[in-house]
Amino acid sequence: MFSCNQGGAGRIELGMVSNNKQATWGGRFEEGPSELMQEFSESVSFDMRLAPFDIQGSMAHARMLQKVGLLTEEELTSLENGFTEVMRDIMDGKLKWDPALEDVHMNIEQALTEKTPVAAKLHMGRSRNDQVATDMRLYFRETCLALVDAGLMQTIQVLVELAEDFQEVIIPGYTHLQRAQPVSVAHHFLAYVEMFNRDIGRFLNVYQASTVSPLGSGAIAGTTLPIDREYSADLLDFVSQDGEPLLTTNSMDAVSDRDMFMDFLSACAICGVHISRLAEDLILWNSSEFNFIRLPDAFTTGSSLMPQKKNPDSLELLRGKAARLQGNLQTMLTMVKGLPLTYNRDLQEDKPPVFDSADTLLICLEVLQGTLHGASMNEDACAKAVADPLLLATDLADYLVLRGVPFRQAHHAVGAMVAASEEKNVPLNALSDEDAKGICPELGDDWRDVFDLQRALAAREKVGMPGPNQIAEQIQKWQALVDSFQGDED
């Protein structure tokens, strides 16, 4: 993704305020804004990253103006050449962003004006309102694909690889953070694949919503000039699957709509929750009390005091970043909730949370991938933990059900057997037949066969369960999805 020049300590390089440059609305005013107001109201320090999208939208607008006869072919050529030079200046770091011009749009227009006088004609038939709405739709379209491709699909790939590598490893599954029933590590990792796949769907929904053109909506009520919205939409690939131009159908809504922003931030926040939950599982597994997983040195840190420590800092930071993503969503919801139609200057603040969430989520997914890629399971510790026969207490109740015992009665009987094993300080499957059948006469001589992990998992081969064949099919399915997506990208 495009980024503009930044100075030392992460500060944006802004040019000096130019007193001889009037704002685009300056004709109405006898005095210009104070330097304090300029500093307070500028947005170019963050919306400069929209520069390539702004130029893309302006080029399409210019070509449309030429098509309808508002620009000559020579004027269009002059604008196209000028935009090429401006883009080159931006990429080379030669363009100095001027806060006196407020935003990326006016900075680019001023830079274009220095290349060609035809720039004065470019803004006819549009407003900055529909201009920025168009820029942001182009931004969302590119950013959603980047998050899906480099972020979520790559994360799913790493999780599927882990599931395949450790599909034979069995661990306790937990409810209420108490040991519940045995599951394979693969089943656990694939649960997060399901979550991240739903995240992909949310980002693709935002992508789909972004393929509708607001260009031509003007400030609020369109324009009296003979523009061709369908043509500019087609140039910007705002089209249906059938190739038909897709246009917003209410100019007031088109320039004030921030649903896409909220949907995007919501998708980021939900994805952040999924990352945070996975991080928490891995933090627990990495603790000495669990010891199920070994994390790579490259994504852990030590202690400044205690030399033995190996802290899962990457995972803890991922938990923290999830709160940041949620905060950005809350910022947007609060900003928009009381605004009347149409545009209000409050909406200038809609971009920082979007940009921050996009950047934060992408690096979070990359860090998660790196942490997982270098991780390995401590198979001995996993085997020791899953050897607890209490994990198969429910299987024993199912065994009794198959012998004709009503489930509630079977549940009560197994509970009584567990209490007896605790009283005698022996494992559940080590109770004597006398004690066990004294509690539940319906037990057969083979009741201890229930306490076999391979048998337990083999009995769970229905769809969605952690049986070995089911896990193998799920791994194959998800790998095929990743492969097909990568094929589409190629």
Grouping H, G, I as helix, E, B as strand and the rest as coil, residue 178 is strand
Burial 227-247 (b: 16+ CB within 10 A, else e): bbbbbbbbbbebbeeeeebbb
Give 255-271 as a DSSP string: HH--HHHHHHHHHHHHH
End-to-end CA distance of the chain: 18
- Give me the residue label for tokens 């549940």: 411
Question: Is residue 203 within 8 Å of residue 48, measured between CB atoms?
Answer: no
Q: How far apart are CA 16 and CA 24, in angstroms?
A: 18
Choosing from 18, 240, 287, 303, which is the catalytic residue?
Answer: 303
Nearest Cα neighbor of 256 from 217, 208, 285 is 217
Per the document, the length of the chain is 490
Q: Which residues pair with 175 in a beta bridge?
A: 178
Question: Is residue 442 within 8 Å of residue 409, measured between CB atoms?
Answer: no
For residue 127, CA distances in Å to 47, 105, 204 come to: 17, 11, 28
Q: How far apart are CA 125 and CA 228, in angstroms?
A: 10
The DSSP symbol for 118 reads: G
Q: Which amino acid is at 269?
A: A
* Contacts for 12 with CB less than 8 Å, ≥ 6 apart: 4, 5, 6, 44, 45, 46, 48, 97
CA dihedral (73, 76, 77, 83) in degrees, to 10, reads: 180
Burial class (CB in 10 A: 0-12, 13-18, 19+), 177: exposed
Question: Is residue 87 within 8 Å of residue 55, measured between CB atoms?
Answer: yes
Catalytic residue check, 303? yes
Grouping H, G, I as helix, E, B as strand and the rest as coil, residue 96 is coil
Q: Compute the radius of gyration of the chain from its Cα atoms.
A: 30
Q: How far apart are CA 103 and CA 44, in angstroms?
A: 4
CA dihedral (20, 26, 32, 35) in degrees, to 10, reads: -80
Question: Is residue 188 within 8 Å of residue 281, measured between CB atoms?
Answer: yes
Token pair, residue 146, equals: 């980047």
Token pair, residue 447, equals: 């009741």
Choosing from 3, 176, 288, 304, which is the catalytic residue?
Answer: 176
Q: Which amino acid is at 415?
A: G
Q: How far apart are CA 170 and CA 156, in angstroms?
A: 21
Which residues participate in catalysis according to the annotation?
176, 303
